[in-house]
Amino acid sequence: MKTPVKPITIWVLAAVLATEIVLVGLYVRVDFPFLAPALLGAVVVQIRTCRSRLEFLGTVLLAVLLALVRYRAHLRTLYEHPAGWGIFLGLASLFFLGVAVLRSRPREIAGRVRAFGVALAIPGFVFIATVALSGTGHAHPMTFDRVLYAFDGSLGFQPSFVLGRLVSRLPWLGVLAGLAYEQVPVAALILYTATMGAGERRRPDLLLALGAASLVGYLLYSLVPAAGPIDLFPSRFPNFAPPLAGFQVVPASIPANIPRNAMPSLHMAWAVLIWWNARRSAISLRAGYLVYLMLTIFATLASGEHYLIDLVVALPFALAIQAAFSVRLRDLPRFVPFWAGWIITLAWLGFLRFARPVWLGSAVLDWILVALTLAGSAMLERHTHRKTLTPADQRRIAGHDQLEGASAIV
């Protein structure tokens, strides 16, 4: 029989945890990219795993206390930096999730540790990813932005400039899309925590798939480094898109402090993975994630952070990641969607980088390749999804093939 943890030990560990939370709250940069959404993910985990109203009240009170200490009761400063509320609420949630681990009984500790680990992993990953991306500009001083801009132009228009001008006329649409663009951790954890504690493990594991997509995506950034049209034409975006006539399709020099994280679009890949894995959820949740996917597509382009071809290549890339986590490891070498996803992704990167005379100015060919990529990825993902179904699942969806096919295409 295990010896119970002594109360004094719990109090000491809780004091250490509280001290660390306060120190982070005092010194963390409120404007740190994506930190607020990452910490809000901890709030999602707490809501899903805790039923105590008193604990939620304590979370809010602790967040307010952190804000008051950080800004010395100057609430106007907090009003000017609303992201701070997300950071302080997330830190407070981490504190109570940590205390829950310390106070848990032996039969509860595995679930409590898992919840705390999930809540802590997302902000930790944000810190690591930000540091990693900050070095891409020095590693790749020259980018392929002009190449990607030329490919988009060969389709007949510049989607990012068109949507960017729309946002300039409808600012509320830009705010809505921007929220969707930033809230990837919250969107992912709402879906992931819906199955935490369930008796049957869902395949694929969403967080592992998103983490793998991030790590591999950072490696792919080095094959076709690019920053986005807003960094290629900072004084022209989105009002004036330079015509392709006389346009030099050569490597571009972009300041080293700007990350090379455009090709493929990880935001698109994340949103697609979340949408695919929401397929077995309630209709209302699926509808919400469909809206989230549409807003992500809009935001990635309208913000000037991506070209349309970045989003196209993200689809077979997401397919490869989804397939990798949908079957057992021993079955992976024979799983066609996995290899097809990688072949299409790498073929696109090589095609864009080395076959400019083939695609430049060939609108029909370019549109055919884009359409084949989207349709092929959708078809192969549907096959991948069926591999994860149990016989009972297959019987349940037998009468809904038409609806399922429409969902996979998106």
Q: Could you tell me the residue ranges of all domains in the chain?
A: 7-129, 138-409
Q: What's the pLDDT score for residue 292?
A: 94
How many other C-beta atoms are found inside a 10 Å radius of the C-beta of residue 353? Answer: 14
Tell me the pTM.
0.87
Question: Across 74-78, 153-157, 190-194, 387-391, which has the greatest mean pLDDT?
Answer: 153-157
Please, are residues 263 and 310 in contact by the beta-carbon 8 Å criterion?
yes
% of the chain residues with pLDDT over 90: 43
Write the pLDDT tens digit of every residue in 330-353: 888 889 999 999 999 999 999 999
Mean pLDDT of 315-324: 96
Q: For 15-19, 38-42, 56-60, 300-304, which range has the lowest pLDDT when averaged over its residues?
A: 15-19
Q: Find out whether 148 and 262 touch, Cβ atoms under 8 Å.
A: yes
Q: Which pairs count as long-range contacts for 19-27, CB under 8 Å and 24+ apart, including other chains?
A: 21/66, 21/91, 21/92, 21/94, 21/95, 22/66, 22/69, 24/91, 25/66, 25/69, 25/70, 25/87, 25/88, 25/91, 26/69, 26/70
User: Is 179 exposed, middle or buried (CB count within 10 Å of its CB: 0-12, 13-18, 19+)?
Assistant: middle
**Predicted local distance difference test score (pLDDT) of residue 392:** 53
**151 within 8 A of 231, measured Cβ to Cβ:** no
Q: How many CB atoms lie within 10 A of CB 167?
A: 22
Shortest CA distance to 157 belongs to which of 308, 357, 371? 308
Per-residue model confidence as pLDDT tens digits over 31-67: 777 888 888 899 999 888 877 788 888 888 888 888 8
**For residue 201, what pLDDT is reported?**
52
